[in-house]
Amino acid sequence: MSCSSNPINIKNTKEICREDCSYSFQYNPNSSAIISNMGDYLEIQVDGKNTVKFNSIDVTVTDVRIYQPSFHLFGGQQTAAEVVIQHKNPMGDSLLVCIPVIAKDGKGASNSFFSKIIPNISNEDKSPQTVNVRQWSLNDVVPSSPFYYYVGSYPYKPCSGKVNIIVFGLDSTATINSSDLKTLKTLIDPISYTKAQSIGGAANKDVVLMKNPIGSQGPDSKDSSYYIFNDCEAITGMDDDGGTSSVRASLIPDKGIPAWVITMLVSFIIIIVIAAIAMMCFSNNEGEAPMATNPVPLSDSGSGSGLKKK
């Protein structure tokens, strides 16, 4: 079951984190799944090589959990389900990566992620079950997109300690087919909050919620090695009326200029410079009076080709 304290509500924040909450992943693209029904969540053990870094430190996957509905609030409301991937680093620090799930029929990667396991779980057998899957991967349910981050206690038992928590927002949800969600609801008990808990969670200011605008870097992510500063924004805390403002620069990807464009621009500039020099020389020549190569002196009574004075 969830902890008795108010749930954490994920909402827009002006607090930004980047290097101090970086997350990159390349989970095993063909993992097996050993699933245990824990009563109020499904616990999944995965295998194979999972390459995950948090703040440039390698972390290992300990287990995966599926809850219904979500234990986080999103805009004050729970989503249909939530996937939680638990990690640990060599120092014993924990990282939770949380993905909200909504009901939406389709044939996408995340729909397939659930369809390959949930229909094959026995409702009667509470012991670990090995589900035979092919090309099943956590990559299919973890988005490569901006995310939220905070440090807090575990949102479920033991409900204490300090853990790093990454949560994706409603614009980066996983999707589950309605039939699989219906089956999931028969397998595990729901997480429920009282009205007071939901209201308290929506108004919760105890946790410093931050956002990583660069986002997670997965196997399908574009190269984000280079960034340029743009659009400085004020940072005032979770709410517009709280905290002391400071200024930080937003990072946007610098995708670079193709070589052929640079070549054309340089050539064009050279042509303009040459044309400008030529026009200046022509203009200077036009402004000067022509000089005779053999000047003839004036004479009062000269002969030949000299000019006569009248």
Cβ–Cβ under 8 Å, residues 64 and 84: yes
pLDDT for the residue numbered 189: 94
pLDDT for the residue numbered 258: 61
DSSP summary character for residue 109 = H
With 0-12 CB in 10 A as exposed, 13-18 as middle and 19+ as buried, what is 88?
A: middle
Residues 287 and 69: their CA atoms lie apart, in Å, by: 86
Residues 234 and 244: their CA atoms lie apart, in Å, by: 10
115 by DSSP, 3-state: which? Answer: helix
pLDDT for the residue numbered 285: 59
Long-range contacts of the stretch 196-202 (C-beta < 8 A, 24+): 197/6, 197/7, 198/7, 198/73, 198/76, 200/6, 201/6, 201/7, 201/8, 201/9, 201/73, 201/76, 202/9, 202/73, 202/76
Residues 49 and 43: their CA atoms lie apart, in Å, by: 19
DSSP summary character for residue 77 = B
Residues 292 and 87: their CA atoms lie apart, in Å, by: 94
Residues 65 and 162: their CA atoms lie apart, in Å, by: 19
pLDDT for the residue numbered 205: 67
Q: Name residue 293's amino acid.
A: T
pLDDT for the residue numbered 134: 87
285 by DSSP, 3-state: which? Answer: helix
CA atoms within 13 A on the CB side of 282: 6
The pTM score is 0.71
Beta-carbon neighbour count of residue 15 at 10 Å? 17
Q: Which residues on adjacent β-strands are paired with residue 302? A: none
Say which residue the tokens 């089956």 belong to.
183
Name the CATH superfamily housing domain 9-216: Alpha carbonic anhydrase (3.10.200.10)
> What tokens appear for 62 in the block?
């300990």
Mean pLDDT, 10 residues at a time, over the chain (310 residues)? 77 91 96 93 95 95 97 94 96 94 96 95 78 92 97 86 95 97 96 85 80 93 44 33 34 48 76 81 58 44 40
DSSP summary character for residue 72 = S
231 by DSSP, 3-state: which? Answer: strand
pLDDT for the residue numbered 158: 82
> What tokens appear for 309 in the block?
């004075």
Say which residue the tokens 């039939």 belong to.
179
Closest CA to 12 of 263, 235, 196, 223: 235
